[in-house]
Amino acid sequence: MFFRRYPILQFAQLLLLASYPAFTQNAASKTPAPLSSSTTAEHALGLAKSGRCSEAIPLLKKAMAPGQDKDLRRNAGLAGVHCAMVKNQFDSAEDFLRTLVRDFPEDPEVLYTAVHTYSDLATHASEQLAVRDPNSAQAHELNAEALEMQGKWDQALKEYQKVLALNPRLPGIHFKIGRLLLSKPNPPADAAERAKKEFQQELEIDPANAGAEYVLGELARESQQWDDAVGHFARAAKLDSSFGDAFLGWGVALVSSKKFSEAVAPLEAAVKLEPQNSAAHYNLAIAYTRSGRREEGEREFAIHRNMETQEPAHPANAPN
């Protein structure tokens, strides 16, 4: 009815329909082309630089996608860390940082940013702990660690003791007290004995604490209690197969007690784990030589001499 009344409109509609393919093609040709990845990244960097971080962060994440220009990815990541920290988006900051450290592991600016970002994240977490539960064992432990780093030994010890009052069997606390007693300048005469008891208590709570076994081995070695030293070092090495110093202490204690053949295996492990440790080569040379393996001993002595000429060091005590 409408078209019969207005034939001119019907004609115009037919013309429009007839030209539809050309019309749509022409319209498509006028649609703005999508931004290139480099343009998107540059736009995101501009937003970040101008302080528009909320808008920038999603675009910076896209700019970090694999296959993008390396320099733009690096710059986008650094800007992303900054923006995410500004906006308290800590998960995003860690995501940016993980990608940067993975893809640019030797870049000084990336490493510098990582140090400061993780420090800021740690500070934020400690502040949250202090606000939400300041009387918890964890809050006291954190205070103790901070005081210990500042050299406030007595105050730190009191904080560790508060932790034990709240949770007597919390793993790691007796170990930290023992370490503190040995680290304190001008320790009293009974410091070593008190520390030894702390490490023993730690092992009662956590028998898998390789560090406690190792320090007990060192205390026994200093007292020339070779059998005790061998036992502690051996257990530390078995608890942590990557603990090079434990294998070295084990071998040195065996060499010192003249069990040269038994010392070979732990000292070989020490050399394998710490090939740049001259003391390990020196003691292995002695163990080889004294067990009749002179050629191998000479080889290790040569390695030791070469290392000593490059970087002076003092080998662990062993019999000549």
| DSSP state letters, 126-156 | HHHHHHH-TTSHHHHHHHHHHHHHTT-HHHH
pLDDT band at 145 (very low <50, low <70, confident <90, very high): very high
* Average pLDDT score, the chain: 87
Q: How far, rounded to the nearest angstrom, does the alpha carbon of residue 241 sit from its chain's CA centroid?
A: 19
Q: How many CB atoms lie within 10 A of CB 261?
A: 13
What's the pLDDT score for residue 311?
A: 60
**Of 199, 162, 210, 193, which is closest to residue 177 (Cα–Cα)?**
199
| Residue owning tokens 């019907």 | 10
Q: What is the mean pLDDT of residues 49-75?
A: 89
- For domain 39-130, the CATH architecture is Alpha Horseshoe (1.25)
pLDDT in tens, 278-306: 999 999 999 999 999 999 999 999 999 99
What's the pLDDT score for residue 4?
A: 42
Rounded CA separation 12/9 (Å) = 5
Rounded CA separation 266/71 (Å) = 47
What's the pLDDT score for residue 67?
A: 81
Angle in degrees, CA 174, 180, 185, rounded to 5: 160
What's the pLDDT score for residue 166?
A: 96
Supply the pTM of this predicted model: 0.71
Q: What is the mean pLDDT of residues 203-229?
A: 97
What's the pLDDT score for residue 126?
A: 87
What's the pLDDT score for residue 31?
A: 40
pLDDT in tens, 96-117: 999 999 999 999 999 999 999 9
| Residues 255 and 264: beta-carbon distance below 8 Å | no
Residue 73 has pLDDT above 50, yes or no: yes
**Of 34, 77, 28, which is closest to residue 56 (Cα–Cα)?**
77
**Choice among 80-89, 263-272, 305-314 with the minimum mean pLDDT:** 305-314
pLDDT band at 42 (very low <50, low <70, confident <90, very high): confident
Q: Is 51 left (phi over 0), alpha (psi -120 to 50) or beta?
A: left
Q: What percent of the chain has a predicted confidence (pLDDT) above 90?
A: 73
Q: What is the mean pLDDT of residues 221-229?
A: 97
User: Hey, is 4 helix, strand or coil?
Assistant: helix
pLDDT in tens, 1-39: 444 443 443 433 433 334 434 333 443 444 444 445 678
| CA pseudo-torsion sign 185, 188, 191, 192 | positive
